[in-house]
Amino acid sequence: MSGIDLDRYGVWVAIAVMAVVTFLIRAGGFWLMGHVPLTPRLRRMLEVLPGAVVMATVLPLMVRGDLASVIAIGAAVLVMALRRNDLLAVFCGLATVAALRAIF
């Protein structure tokens, strides 16, 4: 049989293709933004973009999630406000939701 043996190499080929596509998307974004003049308006938009992405991820969890999810998000927000440490906030949020779901 000619071609790639999907049983043996299919997963690795898929991972390699996804890695290349991810790299090209990221590199393309840097290349494209190198040709865009950064006006004050665009700079402000890029500064608030990470917060918008986080809200777009968290808000559906709060609306459709259970009480443990809402409390965990609150704990993560509190830790972020107090310590300004993203990784610590994520860890505290995950630990809170895991503990609450284990208890209840």
Per-residue tens of pLDDT for the chain, all 104 residues? 466 566 778 888 889 999 999 999 999 999 999 999 999 999 999 999 988 998 898 889 888 889 999 999 999 999 999 999 989 999 999 999 999 999 98
| pLDDT of 86 | 87
Q: How many residues does the chain have?
A: 104
CB 61 within 8 A of CB 73: yes
The pTM score is 0.58
Sole residue written with tokens 């991810």: 22
| pLDDT of 4 | 59
Domain boundaries, given as residue ranges, for the chain: 1-36, 40-104
Q: What are phi and psi of 66, to 5 degrees?
A: -85, 180
